[in-house]
Structure 1
Amino acid sequence: MVDILWYEYRLLGSANTPVVFNENGDAPGRYDIFQYQITNRSTTEYRVIGTWTNKLYLNVDSMRWRRGDSSLPSSVCSVPCRTGERKKVVKGVPCCWHCERCEGYHYQASEFTCELCPYEMRPDANRTGCVPIPIVKLEWHSPWAVIPVFVSMLGIVATSFVVVTFVRYNDTPIVRASGREMSYVLLTGIFLCYAITFLMIAAPDVGVCSFRRIFLGLGMCFSYAALLTKTNRIHRIFERGKKSVTAPRFISPASQLAITFSLISVQLLGVFVWFAVDPPHTVVDYGEQRTQDPASARGVLKCDISDLSLICSLGYSILLMVTCTVYAIKTRGVPETFNEAKPIGFTMYTTCIVWLAFIPIFFGTSQSAERMYIQTTTLTVSLSLSASVSLGLLYMPKVYVILLHPEQNVPKRKRSFKLPPCQASLARREATAPTER
């Protein structure tokens, strides 16, 4: 009887807990589970959050995780990837992966791959597909367009005012002495230089692109062909006066017009060849504003005119401008009787400065995301400035005298007697009867 009672005592154990053994005769372990926690007083300590006695007992409410959250974290190797992310499988652990976002112009093509969108498209907001890149063009309300348009409108108004004044006082000495026929040709070129601004800003289509090709260099060609013919005429007159008393050939108004339009025809011939080789059309340039951030990427609608084609279109006019400047330098010492020589010289010097400033600005911004806006503004403002220089230096002084000092609008004969016979005769023609030239 005593032995049986002792056996039962030993089964309860010293802590009055049941004593059991496994199949190997070993007693199971008993453990307290601690968690290292930060208390409200910002101190740290180990706290019991559960026990193990043959199975796990946890007090979940006593557990603390990072950031003080008491909710249980997911016990998984990898969480599902979000939309727009691909799974990059961990080598050797096929059930685990890292999530990588599809960057740049890539979109999520499948669970494990990202693919590049077509060139004219960009990823959508979720990066699960591609959408077309928005197409933009230079708008009339853009600051890049407002300034050139404003300058151009002022120039057109001023040019129209000069033309009306010259037509109204067409038979007065100042208008006659300036060479009426060549003056109207030059004023036409000035008007076209201002008007091209509206074509450069207008929405590109086949018609607009065609007119751009025609008129882009035509205004400058009209202007500098007329000025070149004038300066060449003055140069030939004084060179002939050093050798002979006879007047040089081709100095009459009809001859001057023929020479001027011959020079202009070369520009038109080049444009027609350009039309035949490469018909005008529009193109959407997706590379010009293809930024690192696809959300700001834009396609630029424009005429298919390359920088080389633009230079070729303006190149002939620039050649005329440079040649005219050379003749302006050669005729800088002519007598004041030939009152157009010096204003033409100042006009050409200033114009050369304008276009020398244009070249680095135009080509220096070829890599800019705002390339189209900067180059269009630079080109149109340069054309308007060169036209304004010609209008201001060659015509505004004449208009000032015609309207405000009509007493000075009389023939000038002084100093002609100091010239050699040929030059004196031609000077008298300049001052009194320019229509006979």
Structure 2
Amino acid sequence: MRAVRRSNATGSFSWIGSDGWSARSLVSDGNEPEVEGTLSVQPQANPVRGFEEYFLNLTVENNRRNPWFVEFWEDHFHCRYPNSSRTPYNHKYKRACTTKERLSRHNTAFEGQLQFVSDAVLAFAHAFREMHRELCHGLPGLCEAMRPTSGHEVLKYLRKVSFQGLSGDKFRFDANGDGPARYNIIHFKQVRAGRYQWVRVGEYMEGELILNMSEIQFKLGQPQLPESVCSLPCSQGQAKKYVEGESCCWHCFNCTQYQVRHPLDETQCVACPQGTVPDHARSRCQDIPEVFLRATSGWAIGAMSLSATGILLTLFVGGVFLRHNDTPVVRASGRELSYVLLTGILLCYCVTFALVLRPTDAVCGVQRFGAGFCFAVVYAALLTKTNRIARIFNAGRRTAKRPSFISPRSQLLICSFLVGVQVLINGVWILVSPPRAVHHYPTRDDNHLVCSSHIDASYMIAFGYPILLIVVCTVYAVLTRKIPEAFNESKYIGDFTMYTICMIWLELVSLYASLSGVGLTLVGEGYCS
């Protein structure tokens, strides 16, 4: 403490004192400004009842059993006791003791930790008593079973002792062989200007710490706690890198944009898993909100509005066909295939509502199957129509015999076969790769909830066969474009429908890839209309 004062470092340190030096006057007397603010842990000891009275009544004459008591007496009263042996210490005392000197509370300071000496002695006394009771069965003195006394045996009895000591406190050893954990937390503070005092500010009793922070004052008039001059606590989102060879000093470094400090190791940063980012406090990873086409969005509302309009128009046309089901116009148009075509168009519009639902495994299955199926129904009906017309007029140029497989039942069977191929393709695809709703992370900040087939180009499996039907149907439409005016339905199929659909399908893949389900919905409505 004198070295601190010589270095003009008074007030620069906050001391944590052990019981070996902190509460001793040797340290604090004359060095009060340097010791101010010290916190210390002191074993809790209570006075041993009767000891002061006993000790104050001791003299050299009545305490012959203690061979060092004379040296204590000479040092305490600074005199040479008559007839005492010469020692390296008493030769300096010129005055002879009168033997009338007496110990008193005014000239004698007692050690505050006497309770531990008393408890230690009593612990052995209780252990020996129990050992003697069990091994000697009440016989006086040491019996043969205790000659010699085994240290291992004594330890066994020592661990079991439990008694109330001379201080009034209970004593026993715990499972680790330690005595009761009772400590006082004391604090050296300036109670008022110029007056310093050790103050009890808390205690530690059997694993429980009680601390009165309002009593702690490191500097007079400065209630704030001192900060570490070695390393300040790291901020949120920072980890520690300890200085080599040190356990109390560190440097703080920032975790990267997508890292948080490890919850169990403050020296490490860990990356947040895909689909999560650090929260504002950078203390934990939080989920990125899912992004998917919601039924309440503008895209979905627009698509569903167009689909609803298309469904109403399709049902209206279907109603007109049913009303005039037996008229020559309806019969000549191939009413069976017309109904199939209207059904396919209706399914195209209905699939829209599946495309705007929140992706789930079931919804993804409906989307995967329905997207290709409804197109296959439409194009299978158109292909069957154009094929029938082409075969009729090609046969008419060569013979007057009616071509085969042109009856309504045959046409429905051909159309069903063509649609069945798409059903088979979809069925095998679903069995090989079951539809699943998955999270897709195009960038580190995105969390898209999509169907698994939307991530790669596998969705084209559903469209490959309908595209083939379109191409074949377009070829037939071109071949039959010059049929007589009375049979100009094929001409309209070619000019108005197939050529337009081919142009639309050129845009389908790019739209579908960029807008996921929205592109398919809008394109499907375009050519279904």
Same fold (TM over 0.5): yes
Displacement of 1:187: 0.3
Aligned ranges 1:406-425 → 2 under 5 Å: none
Match of 1:241 among 371, 391, 396: 396
Structure 1 gaps of 5+ residues are: 1-73, 292-296, 366-373, 389-437
Maintained 8 Å contact 2:275/2:444 = no
Counterpart of 1:353 in structure 2 is: 503
Counterpart of 2:449 in structure 1 is: 301
Counterpart of 2:459 in structure 1 is: 310
Secondary structure at the counterpart of residue 333 of structure 1: coil
Displacement of 1:275: 2.8
Displacement of 1:230: 0.8
Q: Which amino acid aligns with 1:205?
A: T
For 1:260 and 1:138, locate their aligned partners in 2 and report how far apart those are by CA, in whole Å: 34
Secondary structure at the counterpart of residue 359 of structure 2: coil
Match of 1:170 among 284, 300, 325: 325
Q: Deviation digits for residues 128-187 of structure 1, max 9, x if unmatched?
A: 222333334321011221221111111101101100111111122221221110100000
Counterpart of 1:405 in structure 2 is: none
* TM value normalised by structure 1: 0.63
Aligned ranges 1:271-290 → 2 under 5 Å: 271-285=426-440, 287-288=441-442, 290=444
Percent identity at matched positions?
A: 47
Aligned ranges 1:15-414 → 2 under 5 Å: 80-87=233-240, 99-109=252-262, 110-285=265-440, 287-288=441-442, 290-291=444-445, 297-298=446-447, 300-306=448-454, 307-345=456-494, 346-363=496-513, 365=514, 374-388=515-529
Q: Which has the larger radius of gyration?
A: 2
Secondary structure at the counterpart of residue 439 of structure 2: strand
Secondary structure at the counterpart of residue 217 of structure 1: helix
Q: Which amino acid aligns with 2:470?
A: M
RMSD in angstroms over aligned alpha carbons? Answer: 2.5
For 1:113 and 1:279, locate their aligned partners in 2 and report how far apart those are by CA, in whole Å: 40
CA distance 1:361–1:213, change in 2 (3 Å): closer
The structure whose RCO (Cα within 8 Å, separation 6+) is larger is 1
For 1:210 and 1:115, locate their aligned partners in 2 and report how far apart those are by CA, in whole Å: 37
For 2:256 and 2:522, locate their aligned partners in 1 and report how far apart those are by CA, in whole Å: 41
Maintained 8 Å contact 2:303/2:521 = yes
For 2:369 and 2:268, locate their aligned partners in 1 and report how far apart those are by CA, in whole Å: 51
- More deviation in 158-167 or 265-274? 265-274
Maintained 8 Å contact 2:274/2:444 = no
Q: Which amino acid aligns with 2:519?
A: T
Q: Which amino acid aligns with 2:481?
A: R
Displacement of 1:207: 2.8
Q: Which amino acid aligns with 1:311?
A: M
Maintained 8 Å contact 2:511/2:520 = no
* TM value normalised by structure 2: 0.53
CA distance 1:209–1:173, change in 2 (3 Å): same
Displacement of 1:336: 1.1
Q: Deviation digits for residues 71-111 of structure 1, max 9, x if unmatched?
A: xxx99687543211234678999998764332222111244
Secondary structure at the counterpart of residue 442 of structure 2: strand
Q: Which amino acid aligns with 1:348?
A: M
For 1:88 and 1:157, locate their aligned partners in 2 and report how far apart those are by CA, in whole Å: 69
For 1:331 and 1:343, locate their aligned partners in 2 and report how far apart those are by CA, in whole Å: 10
Displacement of 1:288: 3.2
Displacement of 1:279: 2.9
Maintained 8 Å contact 2:481/2:491 = yes
Q: Which amino acid aligns with 1:359?
A: V
CA distance 1:96–1:275, change in 2 (3 Å): same
CA distance 1:375–1:303, change in 2 (3 Å): closer
Q: Which amino acid aligns with 2:444?
A: R
Displacement of 1:376: 1.2
Q: Deviation digits for residues 39-82 of structure 1, max 9, x if unmatched?
A: xxxxxxxxxxxxxxxxxxxxxxxxxxxxxxxxxxx996875432
Secondary structure at the counterpart of residue 216 of structure 1: helix
Moved beyond 4 Å, runs of 4+: 74-80, 87-99
Secondary structure at the counterpart of residue 449 of structure 2: strand
Displacement of 1:337: 1.0
CA distance 1:281–1:94, change in 2 (3 Å): closer
Q: Deviation digits for residues 246-278 of structure 1, max 9, x if unmatched?
A: 222111111111110010011111122123223
Q: Deviation digits for residues 333-385 of structure 1, max 9, x if unmatched?
A: 1111112111100200001111112223333x3xxxxxxxx221111111111
Q: Deviation digits for residues 190-232 of structure 1, max 9, x if unmatched?
A: 0011110101111233332332232111111111001001111
Secondary structure at the counterpart of residue 107 of structure 1: strand
For 2:523 and 2:244, locate their aligned partners in 1 and report how far apart those are by CA, in whole Å: 63
For 1:214 and 1:375, locate their aligned partners in 2 and report how far apart those are by CA, in whole Å: 16
CA distance 1:361–1:208, change in 2 (3 Å): closer
For 1:206 and 1:113, locate their aligned partners in 2 and report how far apart those are by CA, in whole Å: 38
For 2:235 and 2:392, locate their aligned partners in 1 and report how far apart those are by CA, in whole Å: 85
CA distance 1:122–1:311, change in 2 (3 Å): same
CA distance 1:340–1:196, change in 2 (3 Å): same
Secondary structure at the counterpart of residue 262 of structure 1: helix
CA distance 1:91–1:335, change in 2 (3 Å): farther
Structure 2 gaps of 5+ residues are: 1-226
Q: Which amino acid aligns with 1:379?
A: L
Question: Of Structure 1 and Structure 2, which has the larger fraction of its residues in helix?
Answer: 1
Secondary structure at the counterpart of residue 343 of structure 1: helix
**Equivalent pairs, count:** 299
Secondary structure at the counterpart of residue 301 of structure 1: strand
